Structure 1
């Protein structure tokens, strides 16, 4: 396996994870009422961390491998950019918003989380799509 293939595998894994969060996990969490919010959000946070950490570590490792290995291919650099978009959005917006939501639900914090999630999905699509185009090209 080379760096581009590793990015393809990690990018597809990340896309599957992110699409599940966007299409299933966050809509279900958003439907939780205020009375059950603290319990549901706490349970979500504990469970999702078990998946987020390995997925993002694999993705970061594959991106680093691509950047270190060279030569630089435009599609692989675009794929890395998509992964970086997802990662930075997670660190700068989603994680702090989850911290805020852990102290209590507000509609503005939920909207912010869903907006960040949409950005992460776009990043995951760019990463997976560009690495797939590189692979088949």
Structure 2
């Protein structure tokens, strides 16, 4: 399997995961009351962490292989967009999650905005990676 195909598979998985979180998981979490918040947020964090770890490792490893192979411009675009999704997680979503020990409507709103951005970057990264495969890159 070529590096660009491996990266396209990983980014498709990432985009599907991110769409599920954005469209299903976070809306349910955001509707939790103050009384339910801590237990629901802790359960969410515990259960999603292993999947995030495996998924992000797959994206990073295949992205490293793609970068080392000298991708075409679509491949670089896919790497950049996917990198923005990961950076949005590291710099925006994860720090907000860390502060959400109790329900705070302002922080929940920030989390939802950060999540929408990373979802958009993840989907666009997967589209660019797929286009790179189809272009023969």
* TM-score of the aligned structures, taking structure 2 as reference length: 0.96
- Distance in 1 between residues matched to 2:61 and 2:109, nearest whole Å: 31
What does residue 99 of structure 1 align with?
A: 98
What does residue 127 of structure 2 align with?
A: 129
* TM-score of the aligned structures, taking structure 1 as reference length: 0.96
Structure 2: give runs of 5+ residues left out of the alignment. none
1:82·1:127 contact (CA, 8 Å) conserved in 2?
yes
Structure 1 residues 88-133: Cα deviation after superposition (integer angstroms, max 9, x where no partner): 111111111001002x111110011001101111111111100111
- Structure 1 runs of 4+ aligned residues shifted over 6 Å read none
Structure 1 residues 66-106: Cα deviation after superposition (integer angstroms, max 9, x where no partner): 11111x3111111001111111111111111001002x111
Q: Is 1:12 aligned with 2:25?
A: no
1:78·1:126 contact (CA, 8 Å) conserved in 2?
no
2:96·2:107 contact (CA, 8 Å) conserved in 1?
yes
What does residue 42 of structure 1 align with?
A: 42
Query: How many residue pairs align between the two structures?
Result: 135
Structure 1: give runs of 5+ residues left out of the alignment. none
What does residue 32 of structure 1 align with?
A: 32
- Distance in 1 between residues matched to 2:121 and 2:60, nearest whole Å: 13
Instruction: Give the alignment's Cα RMSD to 1 decimal.
Output: 0.8
- Distance in 2 between residues matched to 1:106 and 1:114, nearest whole Å: 12
State the SS of the aligned residue for 1:86. helix
